[in-house]
């Protein structure tokens, strides 16, 4: 492919562009985590399709006891219904958006989810410390003093010996609940 670019001697001459990356520098950065919005009840299907395409992804699941008509059953359910995380270069987002069930990518090239946030969610799930939050309740705004979510601000839901705090993933605006000791909290 030949295109005309201003040559160093300030004259227009054909310059070969094969092998030259013309993507803006801000989009060529290394892979980062982004949130993908998917159709309701399609989180597992989209995750399977991402795996089939070799796209790194993370679907946070929590363990929930549900009452069926004849028995109780433990299920693994999405912590963030209608969302999952993908680790991609922002310029490659069309590979994700073309998957059936994916509605959109949240934000822009600068709306990354920190690696530390993803790792904190993984550890909290491993320790069974998280659950989804469907409805926010009135309460104090608090800051977590230590542990996996140290420095994170949230809303206190209850004030028993084991406090429940609603926190949001930055640049994602989806709440979830973390349990911690009241002594681990500071009112803001």
Locate 123 and state its tokens. Answer: 């550890």
List pLDDT tens digits, range 102-133: 999 998 888 899 999 999 999 999 998 888 86
Q: Quick check: helix, strand or coil at residue 18?
A: coil
Of residues 154 and 55, more confidently modeled: 55
Distance of CA 26 to the CA centre of its chain: 20
List pLDDT tens digits, range 126-165: 998 888 865 434 477 787 888 888 888 887 776 555 677 7
Are residues 106 and 169 located together in one domain of the fold?
no
Are residues 108 and 135 located together in one domain of the fold?
no
Task: Mark which of 83, 113, 143 sits at the end of a domain.
Answer: 113
Exposed (0-12), middle (13-18) or buried (19+): which is 144, by Cβ within 10 Å? buried
* CB 111, CB 34: distance < 8 Å: yes
Are residues 95 and 161 located together in one domain of the fold?
no
Any domain includes 95: yes
Q: What is the C-alpha to C-alpha distance for residues 101 and 39, in angstroms, rounded to an integer?
A: 5
Q: Which domain holds residue 101?
A: 30-113
CB atoms within 10 A of CB 87: 18
Any domain includes 107: yes
Any domain includes 82: yes
| Sign of the dihedral through C-alpha 139, 173, 39, 74 | negative
Task: Mark which of 79, 113, 147 sits at the end of a domain.
Answer: 113
Are residues 94 and 157 located together in one domain of the fold?
no
Any domain includes 124: no
Closest CA relative to residue 158, chosen from 127, 124, 133: 133
Q: Facing residues of 89 across strands?
A: none
Locate 83 and state its tokens. Answer: 């969302």
Residue 169: pLDDT band (50, 70, 90) is low
Q: What is the pTM of this model?
A: 0.65
Are residues 91 and 140 located together in one domain of the fold?
no
């Amino acid at each position: 492919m030949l295109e005309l670019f201003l040559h160093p001697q300030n004259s227009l001459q054909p310059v070969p562009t094969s092998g030259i990356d013309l993507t803006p520098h801000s989009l060529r950065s290394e892979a980062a985590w982004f949130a993908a919005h998917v159709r309701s009840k399609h989180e597992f299907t989209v995750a399977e399709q991402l795996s089939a395409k070799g796209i790194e992804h993370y679907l946070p699941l929590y363990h929930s006891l549900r009452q069926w008509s004849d028995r109780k059953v433990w299920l693994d359910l999405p912590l963030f219904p209608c969302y999952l995380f993908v680790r991609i270069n922002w310029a490659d987002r069309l590979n994700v958006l073309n998957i059936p069930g994916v509605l959109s990518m949240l934000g822009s090239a600068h709306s990354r989810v920190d690696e530390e946030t993803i790792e904190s969610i993984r550890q909290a799930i491993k320790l069974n410390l998280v659950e989804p939050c469907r409805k926010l309740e009135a309460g104090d705004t608090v800051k977590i003093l230590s542990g996996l979510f140290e420095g994170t601000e949230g809303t206190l839901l209850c004030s028993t010996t084991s406090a429940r705090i609603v926190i949001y993933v930055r640049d994602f605006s989806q709440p979830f609940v973390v349990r911690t000791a009241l002594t681990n909290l500071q009112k803001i």
